Structure 1
């Protein structure tokens, strides 16, 4: 299972968002890309996208990661 968590925090705009992506197996032998997003501190929303191959899900995860980092999301500070 791969998991990626990104944050976008901008105190000037009162913005504190998260975007989490994970690749997980499905019960029927496929692979699912699970997306969770919302304001930090809330449960947020979720969406699941299924794929026949794990490589397709990994490619979709990489595309979403690129899109979000272009919009200002970054890994959370440690």
Structure 2
């Protein structure tokens, strides 16, 4: 059973490079009580790709979640801003 919800949604946009990407992650429990990390990424407005990681314990899933979060922040991904995009 998952002790607390782990969810992340970040975006990376650069108008000069025509870049509009998103990255989402969530840790949830499987039907058998194992931890499951679901990652989804792609171009904003598109379906994108999905990858599922299964773990025997929640700690392993959280460790990967935090590692990937640090990696995405270093590459320039940020939480979505509420201000309208500049065209």
Structure 1 length as normaliser, TM-score?
A: 0.95
Larger Rg: 2
Separation in 2, partners of 1:19, 1:64? 10
Give the structure 1 partner of residue 85 of structure 2: none
What SS class does the counterpart of residue 72 from structure 1 fall into?
coil
Count of paired positions = 78
Give the structure 1 partner of residue 65 of structure 2: 61
Separation in 2, partners of 1:34, 1:77? 23
Separation in 2, partners of 1:24, 1:6? 19
Match of residue 49, structure 2, among 45, 51, 57: 45
Superposition CA RMSD, Å = 0.8
Unpaired runs of at least 5, structure 1: none
**Higher strand fraction: Structure 1 or Structure 2?**
1
Aligned-residue offset at 1:15: 0.1
Segments ≥4 residues shifted beyond 3 Å: none
Structure 2 length as normaliser, TM-score?
A: 0.86
Residues 5-60 of structure 1: CA deviation (Å, up to 9, x unaligned): 01000000000000001001011110000000000001111000011111111111
